[in-house]
Amino acid sequence: MRNHALETVSIVTLGCSKNTVDSEVLVRQIQANNLAYTNDPKDADTVIVNTCGFICEAKEESIRTILEAGALKKQGVIKKLLVMGCLTERYRQELEATLPEVDAFFGTTDLDAILATLGVNLKRELLGERSLSTPSHFAYLKISEGCDNPCSFCAIPLMRGGHRSRPMEEIIHEAEFLARSGVREIIIIAQDTTYYGLDLYGERRLSSLLQAVANIDGIDWVRLLYAYPAQFPLDVLHVVREHPNVVPYLDLPLQHVSDQVLISMRRGISGRRTRELLRQIRDEVPGIILRTTLIVGYPSETDEAFRELVEFVRESRFERLGVFTYSREDGTSAALLGDPVPAEVKAERREEIMGIQQDISRQFNESLVGSKLPVLIDRAENGVFVGRTPFDAPEVDNEVYLTAEDTLELNPGSLVLARISDATEYDLRGYVQ
Ligand code: SF4
């Protein structure tokens, strides 16, 4: 309900977990400055759309969301509409020229200016504090901004700039704040988490950062996402193996395996080195869960290159895998290659790989039936508790559906030991006694 006494603000956050963190930082500042906050844009005086500009679909969704908020303004439901984030970084002039209903545009690092537009000041003492939009027992921890890698298909450096690591003390301060706020699972994110420290300390410091976060009281799970394969810092694997609360899980977007495509993508790694790295990771941390992301339909992806990718997916047996179809993004070096692979061929290739992955995922999940696994409860639904094992990141991986004896007090954030009784390709079922 709108608080007529206070100016009420609502943020609509699109895109990735980095945007989620940016919005959470802003909400903390808004609430600390005696402004009211609501999750419902219709109940706000000011709506802020935190946009994504990654690929076509994401850009379309951002525009659609701005227009929806613009309609609320035209109807007099809201007074002010602000737009922030990646889409502004990429298309500010076009947006300013075509969206007169928007009162002001901001980029990805304009916290001060946004607060000034709301008539308040940045409270520096609160930096490192956030108002979580995720369930209160897990949170993303952004360790750097931007990216220095030259991937030919990627527009992120155009929007987020070059790589800037956050000082380790600042990150630990924020992680301690999250632990004090009841967070049990910390998910480490960046554009490229493996690059952490190289700019600031002259060396890769991801492993020492991981250890420092793992040593914080109250953190049961530490999860690492967005690890870039080229020059992957192997010392990270020791930390994963040695620290029981660093979950045996690694998100390692590979994008492709064909040398010809990897060279054109400027990924800085060969197919042979990729396979070798996967072997090293599985040898160093037996039982580790590997998630990867692939792109199909890249301009230079021939049938032969795609066949190689299909074989690679079969032989590598990733426990978790996602596939994007190539999206030609203006301003990237790959854009010069055009977009020769027809959309229907891209869709067929994606479908073929996801079909193979479905079987691999089912077989892996079936191998867990009968075992006992830790499960972090995310929510309750119709008398069933829904959660994740250490093998599952929020929003992208599998879920576990649990029944529990009435005597047990289970809530979101409860960490339980569950017996797995059944499996499908993408979910598990079980019970807690
Ligand atoms: S690592 Fe490559 S794909 Fe990832 S954000 Fe950086 S440039 Fe983009």
What does the pLDDT look like over 230-262, one tens digit per residue?
999 999 999 999 999 999 999 999 999 999 999
The predicted structure's pLDDT at residue 4: 55
The per-residue pLDDT for 6 is 74
CB-based contacts of 176: which residues, under 8 Å, 6+ apart?
216
Which whole number is the average pLDDT over 170-177? 97
CATH 2.40.50.140 domain range(s) in the chain: 372-432
**pLDDT value at position 406?**
76
Q: CA-CA distance, 148 to 36, in Å (whole number)?
A: 38
The confidence score (pLDDT) of residue 317 equals 98
Distance 190 CA to ligand 1 centre (A): 10
Question: What residue type is 376 in one-letter code?
Answer: L
pLDDT of 408: 79
pLDDT at 405: 79
Q: What is the CATH number of domain 372-432?
A: 2.40.50.140
Ligand 1, residue 154: give the atom nearest the CA.
Answer: 8
Compute, in angstroms, the gap from residue 243 CA to the centroid of ligand 1: 28
Q: Whose CA is nearest to atom 2 of ligand 1?
A: 151
Pocket test for ligand 1, best of 90, 192, 251, 326 (most atoms within 8 A of CB): 192
Ligand 1 atom closest to Cα of residue 255: 3
pLDDT in tens, 284-329: 999 999 999 999 999 999 999 999 999 999 999 999 999 999 999 9
Question: Taking a C-beta distance cutoff of 8 angstroms, is the pair 204, 166 a contact?
Answer: no
CA of 234 to the centre of ligand 1 (A): 20
Mean pLDDT over 115-130 rounds to 95
On the 0-12 / 13-18 / 19+ scale of CB atoms within 10 A, 342 is: exposed
Q: Which CATH architecture has domain 8-126?
A: 3-Layer(aba) Sandwich (3.40)
Which ligand 1 atom sits nearest the alpha carbon of residue 228? Answer: 1
For ligand 1, atom 5, which residue shows the shortest CA distance? Answer: 191
Q: How far apart are CA 71 and CA 101, in angstroms?
A: 9
pLDDT band at 3 (very low <50, low <70, confident <90, very high): low
The boundaries of every CATH 3.40.50.12160 domain in the chain are 8-126
Percentage with pLDDT > 70 across the chain:
99
pLDDT at 295 (0 to 100): 98
246's CB contacts (< 8 A; 6+ apart) are: 210, 214, 222, 224, 239, 240
By CB neighbour count within 10 A (0-12 exposed, 13-18 middle, 19+ buried), where does 161 fall?
Answer: middle
Query: Span 106-123, mean pLDDT?
Result: 97
Instruction: State yes or no: pLDDT of 39 exceeds 90.
Output: yes
pLDDT at 8: 96
Label residue 2 by pLDDT band (50, 70, 90). low
* pLDDT single digits (tens) 193-240: 999 999 999 999 999 999 999 999 999 999 999 999 999 999 999 999
Nearest CA to ligand 1 atom 4: 191
Mutate to test the pocket of ligand 1, among 55, 142, 147 (most ligand atoms within 8 A of CB): 147
For position 22, what pLDDT does the model report?
A: 98
- Of all protein residues, whose CA lies closest to atom 8 belonging to ligand 1? 154
What six digits make up the tokens of 325?
Answer: 């179809």
- The best mutation among 90, 153, 228 to test binding of ligand 1, ranked by most ligand atoms within 8 Å of the C-beta, falls on 228
| 228 CA from centroid of ligand 1 (Å) | 8
Query: What tens digit of pLDDT does each residue of 379-419 get?
Result: 999 889 999 999 999 999 999 999 987 777 889 999 999 99
Give the CATH superfamily of 138-367: tm_1862 like domain (3.80.30.20)
Q: Which residues does ligand 1 sit against, CB inside 6 Å?
A: 147, 149, 151, 154, 156-157, 191-192, 228
How many A from CA of 122 to the centre of ligand 1?
30
Per-residue pLDDT, averaged over 66-76, amounts to 98
For residue 150, give the ligand 1 atom closest to its CA: 7
Ligand 1 midpoint to CA 249 (Å) = 20
Note whether 130 and 21 are within 8 A (CB).
yes
In which band, very low, low, confident or very high, does the pLDDT at 69 lie, cut at 50, 70 and 90? very high
90 within 8 A of 155, measured Cβ to Cβ: yes
Residue 433's pLDDT is 76
Q: What percent of the chain has a predicted confidence (pLDDT) above 90?
A: 95
- Specify the domain boundaries for CATH 3.80.30.20 within the chain: 138-367
